[in-house]
Structure 1
């Protein structure tokens, strides 16, 4: 029986160091996932949103890429959201959750 991605993730997260790094990276992954979702929900391609923002498609691709080493400025995220027809809302949650 082949192990699944779910099995692999469960095993990996049983290592406390891996679990900690996973928690640390979660907000960046979630941000990228949401950026892609709002762009697609708006019916826009990366090329189209780049045109609206007067930038290059490669910049949009890098912004949406979960492996990107860049940390976008808040104003960039706000402009992206506005271009897709959204406004941004920031929430803070206690670390204990």
Structure 2
């Protein structure tokens, strides 16, 4: 059985998989930041939900980066504030 890293390496050797992986990188980077921010506070999804007046399932959707559930800037600002953070949105030109 392959380890996660071995499977990832094998999959990324395929050009189609690599292209999709690269395309999704900004979303995964955002998700990583979101999860790290919440983990650093020690808060659960339910605790964050209570702080911003929503449900745990809404926080789970926000943290899933599911294209069907794109949160608004206002929601992201509330989420950030609940974690003691501020939201920054930037437009960056491709290299």
Q: If the length of structure 2 is used for normalisation, what is the TM-score?
A: 0.82
- Which consecutive segments of 4 or more residues in structure 1 shift more than 6 A? none
Partner of 1:24: 23
Q: If the length of structure 1 is used for normalisation, what is the TM-score?
A: 0.81
The higher relative CO (CA closer than 8 Å, separation ≥ 6) is in 1
Structure 1: runs of 5+ lacking an equivalent: none
Partner of 1:59: 58
Q: Could you report, residue by residue, the CA deviation over 1:39-97 in whole angstroms, capped at 9, with x for unpaired residues?
A: 1212211111101110011100111124563222222112101110001223454433x
How big is the alpha-carbon RMSD for the aligned residues of Structure 1 and Structure 2?
Answer: 1.9
Which structure carries more helix by proportion? 2
Task: Measure, in 1, the Cα distance between the counterparts of 2:37 and 2:65.
Answer: 16
